[in-house]
Amino acid sequence: MVRVTIYNEFIHEKTNTNVKAVYPNGLHEVLKEALCDEEITVRTITFDNIQNLTKELLDSTDVLLWWGHCKHADVPDETAVLVQNAVLSGMGAIFLHSAHHSKPFKLLMGTPCSLSWREDGDREYLWACDPSHPIAEGVDRYIKLEHEETYSEPFSIPEPDKLIFIGNYEGGEVIRAGCCYRRGYGKIFYFQPGHETYPIYYHPMIIRVIKNAIHWTYNPYRSDIDCPHIKRIEE
Amino acid sequence: MVRVTIYNEFIHEKTNTNVKAVYPNGLHEVLKEALCDEEITVRTITFDNIQNLTKELLDSTDVLLWWGHCKHADVPDETAVLVQNAVLSGMGAIFLHSAHHSKPFKLLMGTPCSLSWREDGDREYLWACDPSHPIAEGVDRYIKLEHEETYSEPFSIPEPDKLIFIGNYEGGEVIRAGCCYRRGYGKIFYFQPGHETYPIYYHPMIIRVIKNAIHWTYNPYRSDIDCPHIKRIEE
Amino acid sequence: MVRVTIYNEFIHEKTNTNVKAVYPNGLHEVLKEALCDEEITVRTITFDNIQNLTKELLDSTDVLLWWGHCKHADVPDETAVLVQNAVLSGMGAIFLHSAHHSKPFKLLMGTPCSLSWREDGDREYLWACDPSHPIAEGVDRYIKLEHEETYSEPFSIPEPDKLIFIGNYEGGEVIRAGCCYRRGYGKIFYFQPGHETYPIYYHPMIIRVIKNAIHWTYNPYRSDIDCPHIKRIEE
Amino acid sequence: MVRVTIYNEFIHEKTNTNVKAVYPNGLHEVLKEALCDEEITVRTITFDNIQNLTKELLDSTDVLLWWGHCKHADVPDETAVLVQNAVLSGMGAIFLHSAHHSKPFKLLMGTPCSLSWREDGDREYLWACDPSHPIAEGVDRYIKLEHEETYSEPFSIPEPDKLIFIGNYEGGEVIRAGCCYRRGYGKIFYFQPGHETYPIYYHPMIIRVIKNAIHWTYNPYRSDIDCPHIKRIEE
């Protein structure tokens, strides 16, 4: 079993009528229901109880999903460092949509991870530029999202180890929408879809990709990556 | 001075009225006139005199531009290997548009370099996903092409060392449109724009990018990359 | 079950007394015995029956291991292209030791894959520079080989997607000894150890790494990677 | 002119007799004298006046060199962030030797950047694994250092965009000794040589490499990399 923990800040769903209409119990509950199966167990955590996002929780998490937006700045620095260290030790991490600007993602990337955006409900096509990658398994040439917030290049991330998806918006923009990284012992996947006002996480192919990414980021090994002082191998 | 050689097969311009209307003397002549300046000299070669594409010509070429389409299969294998070896020894190479399927590009990549395509005259936006790269110098957020042949992912190339441009077509497709590689001592840039029925190479920003790419791929050093049998450094 | 095919040219073992003493039945037989387990089945093929290295054989091969040296030039070009295409379609491939200069590896890399060498029986330490990678699973900081042929940088390969091992020779040289690539749908691993005059393939940790690499390069999916002409998604 | 600023913490040279014997005025002074030429101007700064490492100083610095060791933890977090942001905006940065553990380097990498080490005065050979790269220009196959502190893999850095040098130590270790990265608009080079008890920075080829790296990391453009809210391109 892969033990997944979903962090969703769960603010917009309580304060914005349009979001509440799409995700009445929070998008984490929709993700949880969609992701749970015979291979994946899911726990959830929200901003209101972020004090429970402890080293102990991370130690028993194989893959962490992160969705955040308006509370990025209020996530304690110590929590962000805990997440960064867990990834470096081997925990998988999937950063969803506006989590490109979350503290742990920026710590792991070392760059601002900024992009441009607009909210016009554009149609998006998500193209699998590497259909051979396990994260794209089961995806046809593209996934169509009827409406999505538009994210635009330039996206100030390090060159991905592997680019899996590119998004095309009807207004003309593009975004590197599925990006793989290895950092320390951990594997990281950034996945752009998921604006809170559209039912993105009800889309079966989006769920399929996230499930694929859970299996891809899962590393059964954890390790401290500090290196010791050594002695000469042979005298 | 950077010594550029442009190979253009120069067939469509003679056999297709629409192409002839855009490039009456061949697209190589338009490129030559646009690229020549106080830092760049240009020679041209076409399929009809491809026997002149010799090792001697390549030895005196700093950067080779390659445009081909209907004559890919008729380029002699020996010529393709000469180009591959020149790049490996340090010659820069820029493959334009349908040259993604040229023999020398495929030899250097090791993959089919296939993509999907359609000809509907779509509008294309070329986005600079790394505006800090010298190849993107002077480019605003994007370059707009009123009409272009549509190229679509998946594009079966090795992961680029650096991805510079991504194309968005109005029909919904995307393509990795500006891709950097190093192979041996040589630098390679693939650049997607340039369908023969549209006046792409009259666009000042397309010329700007190609000029930038000439300077980026130019390596003043040439070297044989065979490695010798060696002796133990120290007894 | 992962269906492995080992190609070993099997010449040195018949013509050189020292090699015969180490591998009396050929190094492919030692590899076969060491690799077979409840998850891996192994077939072998040698230069003398290379005509059996057909598309049918490759279609039923999940991962191909390749060891060659003095017969590189005599492998038919068509066979090398068959192997290249099988990898591009999803077959895993592991190139061992002097196979860095084999035709299929050079076709897949697009570069000369040259390196310098000497035969002084140096001690080699193989360092795992990424201990988190599944190919390095079970390896301590390094693997010690009492004697090995010395391979030296510069090694004219494309920058590996991921570098797993670096070799240190007592004479002072280094080599990128474990290199991962993705090409098309296939995964490729180059692994330097394996000179025919030393009992390298009897070393349990070398076998461990090759087994790890078999599982890593294994892609259960095969696909034609040609791309079709397309129609506009939406009118 | 490329405007270089050297930060050297300048502690060991004042507190350790052996170090003082090698670098009586600090290693920054030796570097400054060696690097200044008709294309490079050099300013220096030390830990004792680190309050002068301001945004203004960085704004007028094209390339920053960083040497630190025992005072890593005492560099203010704000200073480290200033350096990180300057790099992201386009300043070049060269991190020397024990600066692998400096705050700005770790912020830019997002990983612990740990390695193992021992001080036995081993001989090191630094191999140019990509002799075609401008940073390796003028380097023969290797640079020999009679004595150097030993650094050992695993080195917990992100996969380098380009690996230029690998070090071989007589005790058997290896280290990725010359590593290139792009982050935001800035270029970064990590270069391992430079233990304070050996006269490494008097070695003409080490200086040659650092000069090459200064020219390679120098980006004449600076830019804010925040991305704005955008409007739809076309209605």
Check if the beta carbon of residue D196 is closer than 8 Å to that of residue D27: yes
pLDDT of residue C224: 84
Give chains near D: 3+ CB pairs under 8 A. Answer: A, B, C
pLDDT in tens, B86-100: 999 999 999 999 999
- Write the DSSP assignment of B76-108 as a string of letters: -HHHHHHHHHHHHHT-EEEEEGGGGGSHHHHHH
Mean pLDDT to the nearest integer, C14-43: 98
Taking residue D140's Cβ as centre, other Cβ atoms within 10 Å add up to: 10
What are φ and ψ of residue D187, in 5° steps? Answer: -110, 140
Mean pLDDT to the nearest integer, C146-166: 98
Check if the beta carbon of residue C123 is closer than 8 Å to that of residue C145: yes
> Which long-range contacts link C167-170 to residues 24+ away (Cβ below 8 Å)?
C167/C124, C167/C125, C167/C126, C167/C127, C167/C192, C167/D174, C168/C124, C168/C125, C168/C127, C168/D168, C168/D169, C168/D172, C168/D173, C168/D174, C169/C122, C169/C123, C169/C124, C169/D168, C170/C122, C170/C123, C170/C124, C170/D172
Q: How confident is the model at residue B124 (pLDDT cuts 50, 70, 90)?
A: very high
> Could you say which residues from 181 to 220 on chain B have a Cβ atom under 8 Å away from some Cβ of chain C?
181-184
- Whether chain C has a CB inside 8 Å of the CB on D169: the answer is yes
Burial of residue C77, with CB atoms counted within 10 A of its CB: 0-12 exposed, 13-18 middle, 19 or more buried: exposed
- Whether chain C has a CB inside 8 Å of the CB on D130: the answer is yes
Nearest by CB to residue A112, choosing from D225, D231, D232, is D225
Mean pLDDT to the nearest integer, B144-155: 98
SS3 B32: helix
- Whether chain C has a CB inside 8 Å of the CB on B104: the answer is no
What are φ and ψ of residue A140, in 5° steps? Answer: -75, -165
Contact at CB, B156 and C115, closer than 8 angstroms: no
Residue with tokens 């999803």: C90
Q: At what angle do helices C204-217 and C27-35 cross, to 10 degrees?
A: 70
Mean pLDDT to the nearest integer, D136-157: 97
> Is residue B31 scored above 90 in pLDDT?
yes
C-alpha distance from B189 to closest chain A C-alpha (Å) = 17
SS3 D27: helix
**Cis-peptide, bond into residue D228, ω within 30° of zero:** no
User: Which chain C residues are within 8 Å of B227, Cβ to Cβ?
Assistant: 114-117, 152, 154-156
pLDDT of residue D11: 97
Q: How confident is the model at residue A115 (pLDDT cuts 50, 70, 90)?
A: very high
Contact at CB, D110 and A159, closer than 8 angstroms: no
Q: How confident is the model at residue C226 (pLDDT cuts 50, 70, 90)?
A: confident
Q: Which residue of A has its CA nearest to C137?
A: A221
Q: Which residue of C has its CA nearest to D114?
A: C129
User: Which chain C residues are within 8 Å of D174, Cβ to Cβ?
Assistant: 125, 127, 129, 166-168, 174
CA angle D212, D216, D222 (to 5 degrees): 140
> Which helix (H) or strand (E) is D187 found in, with range?
strand D186-191
- Whether chain C has a CB inside 8 Å of the CB on B154: the answer is yes
> Is residue C104 scored above 90 in pLDDT?
yes
- Write the DSSP assignment of C64-122 as a string of letters: EEEE-STTGGGS-HHHHHHHHHHHHTT-EEEEEGGGGGSHHHHHHH-S----EEEEEEE
Name which of A4-13, A220-229, C32-41, D152-161 the model is least confident about. A220-229
pLDDT of residue C225: 81
Pair of tokens at residue A52: 């429970």
Going by C-alpha positions, the residue among A110, A102, A46, A55 that lies closest to residue A82 is A55
**Mean pLDDT, all residues of chain C:** 97
Mean pLDDT to the nearest integer, C69-74: 98
Pair of tokens at residue A122: 């554009």
pLDDT in tens, A147-204: 999 999 999 999 999 999 999 999 999 999 999 999 999 999 999 999 999 999 999 9
Q: How confident is the model at residue A235 (pLDDT cuts 50, 70, 90)?
A: low
> Which helix (H) or strand (E) is B176 found in, with range?
strand B174-183
Check if the beta carbon of residue D183 is closer than 8 Å to that of residue D8: no
- Write the DSSP assignment of chain C as a string of letters: -EEEEEEE---HHHH-HHHHHH-TT-HHHHHHHHH-SSSEEEEEEEGGGGGG--HHHHHT-SEEEEE-STTGGGS-HHHHHHHHHHHHTT-EEEEEGGGGGSHHHHHHH-S----EEEEEEEEEEEEES-TTSGGGTT--SEEEEEEEEEEES----PPPSEEEEEEEETTS-EEEEEEEEEETTEEEEEE----TTTTGGG-HHHHHHHHHHHHHH--S--------B---S--
> Is residue C179 scored above 80 in pLDDT?
yes
Mean pLDDT to the nearest integer, D72-87: 98
> Is residue C162 scored above 60 in pLDDT?
yes
- Whether chain B has a CB inside 8 Å of the CB on A151: the answer is no
Interface B-D: count of C-beta contacts within 8 A: 31
C-alpha distance from D78 to closest chain A C-alpha (Å) = 15
Q: How confident is the model at residue D212 (pLDDT cuts 50, 70, 90)?
A: very high
**Mean pLDDT, all residues of chain B:** 97
Mean pLDDT to the nearest integer, B56-76: 98
pLDDT of residue B235: 54
Going by C-alpha positions, the residue among A28, A76, A72 that lies closest to residue A51 is A76
Mean pLDDT to the nearest integer, C40-50: 98
Pair of tokens at residue B6: 């442009």
Contact at CB, D227 and A109, closer than 8 angstroms: no
pLDDT of residue B90: 97
C-alpha distance from B65 to closest chain C C-alpha (Å) = 19
pLDDT in tens, D111-124: 999 999 999 999 99
Contact at CB, D116 and A230, closer than 8 angstroms: yes
User: Which chain C residues are within 8 Å of D173, Cβ to Cβ?
Assistant: 125, 127, 168
pLDDT of residue C235: 54
Check if the beta carbon of residue B164 is closer than 8 Å to that of residue B130: yes
Top-confidence residue, B55 or D224? B55
Distance CA A169, CA A132 (A): 24
> Is residue C47 scored above 80 in pLDDT?
yes
pLDDT of residue D235: 54
Q: How confident is the model at residue B228 (pLDDT cuts 50, 70, 90)?
A: confident
pLDDT of residue A224: 84
Looking at chain A, which runs of residues are DSSP E strands?
A: 2-8, 40-46, 63-67, 92-96, 116-128, 142-152, 162-169, 174-183, 186-191
Mean pLDDT to the nearest integer, A99-122: 97
Q: How confident is the model at residue B226 (pLDDT cuts 50, 70, 90)?
A: confident
pLDDT in tens, B166-193: 999 999 999 999 999 999 999 999 999 9
